[in-house]
Amino acid sequence: MIIVMERTATKENVQRAVNLLEEHGFRVIVHEGDVHTCIDALGDKTTLTPGRVSALDGVKEVKVIREPFRLASRDRKSEDTVIEFSNGVKIGGKNRPVFIVGPCSVDSDYAGLLQVATAAKEMGCEFLRGGAFKPRTSPYDFQGLEEEALKMMAKAKEETGLLLVTEVMDSQDLPMISDYVDVVQIGARNMQNFKLLKAVGKANIPVVLKRGPANTIREFLLAAEHIMYNGNEQVILCERGIRTFDDKYTRNTLDLTAVPVIKKLSHLPIIVDPSHATGQRYLIEPMSKAALVVGADGIMMEVHHDPENALSDGKQSLPIPMFKDVIKRLSTLRDQLEYDKTCLSANVK
């Protein structure tokens, strides 16, 4: 960090700052200018927070040079993180983007869920997603079938071989959910549920972390840092739209700039969810194409066998025939694009 002293700072003020820094293991270089004295401090700021330094008399400003998300930072790990599953599917790095598809929430119609899973397998998708525990804005809306839904998903996996993704809302449910699925998801509403982040961090299971609708990229990466700090480095980031000015035509605003920005700052893979971002099924295809072009490591989209009667988010779910057409075109684009992630990383640094 760099500490800028006030113009009126005394030699005693400067020395007090230097002493504090050195006591906490920092290497200190003092620059005495004509107007301000500046102190370069090189060391581990987890031992001494910038706030403690800025509280000293005579300190004008403390500037942090390195980003606080150490474990997620590309400074710490220059190569891309690749998350590999037992069936050989990989997310991140130079691997081709994956498709994660399925209903927003699993309803009681297993035959319908199997239709979606079968179509996903037929079209070359790798993951089946479905909500078992649903965080809903209204308490009167469908809240999910809980473990019954997980059993249905597990049965669909037996018949199709697809990997499973579902959301965890409560750390107490994590052990039970982990018995059924291959990836747990932390939804946008829980991005800063630090107790849940800590619990998932202590679990040995890949996790999709969704960006909150009002969170910055820095906050997003710090949420990932909480998971990694607690021992789990199998983190997949998910951009799913942020709240901006216009909510008449889209549910949120899909921040596609987040993809190359995060690839510059972090080694973690990042996927995009155009369904939740836009809230409109006609926007899923164009936004998915754009996400692939900017380098997303995967697309998560909602698909339902009967969207008109879906218990949640039917408006933003693709019916199976439309899904097949969309995936066919996305697969063609995926094959056409040259996913040289090493070049991409070099270009954005």
Name the residue ranges covered by the structural domains of the chain: 2-63, 83-348
Q: Does residue 342 surpass a pLDDT of 50? A: no
pTM: 0.84
pLDDT at 145: 87
Q: Does residue 214 surpass a pLDDT of 60? A: yes
Q: Which amino acid is at 178?
A: S
pLDDT at 247: 73
Q: Does residue 348 surpass a pLDDT of 70? A: no
> pLDDT tens digits, residue range 175-205?
999 999 999 999 999 999 999 999 999 999 9
More confident residue, 120 or 338: 120
| Contact present, 269 and 74 (Cβ < 8 Å) | no
> pLDDT tens digits, residue range 103-136?
999 998 999 999 999 999 999 999 999 999 877 7
pLDDT at 163: 98
pLDDT at 344: 52
> pLDDT tens digits, residue range 60-118?
999 887 778 889 999 889 999 999 999 999 999 999 999 999 999 999 899 999 999 99
Sign of CA dihedral 214, 194, 210, 49: positive
Tell whether domain 83-348 is in CATH 3.20.20.70: yes
| Contact present, 261 and 242 (Cβ < 8 Å) | no
pLDDT at 193: 97
Topology alike, domains 2-63 and 83-348: no
Q: Is 119 helix (H, G, I), strand (E, B) or coil?
A: helix
**Half-sphere exposure at residue 338, Cβ-oriented, CA atoms within 13 angstroms:** 4
Mean confidence (pLDDT) of the chain: 92
pLDDT at 228: 95
Q: Does residue 56 surpass a pLDDT of 50? A: yes
| Helix residue ranges, H only, the chain | 11-23, 50-54, 110-122, 147-160, 174-178, 194-201, 217-229, 258-265, 274-278, 284-293, 320-336, 341-348
| Contact present, 154 and 164 (Cβ < 8 Å) | yes
Residue where the block lists tokens 């989209």 = 301
Region 238-265 average pLDDT: 93
Residue 156's φ and ψ, nearest 5 degrees, are -65, -35
Nearest CA among 180, 232, 179 for reference residue 209: 232
CB atoms inside a 10 Å sphere around CB 53: 20
> pLDDT tens digits, residue range 313-326?
889 999 999 999 99
pLDDT at 1: 86
Percentage of residues in the chain with pLDDT exceeding 70? 97
Sign of CA dihedral 205, 172, 224, 156: positive
Strands 90-91 and 83-84: antiparallel
| Contact present, 243 and 252 (Cβ < 8 Å) | yes
Tell whether domain 2-63 is in CATH 3.30.70.1140: yes
> pLDDT tens digits, residue range 274-309?
999 999 999 999 999 999 999 999 999 999 999 999
Q: Does residue 341 surpass a pLDDT of 50? A: no
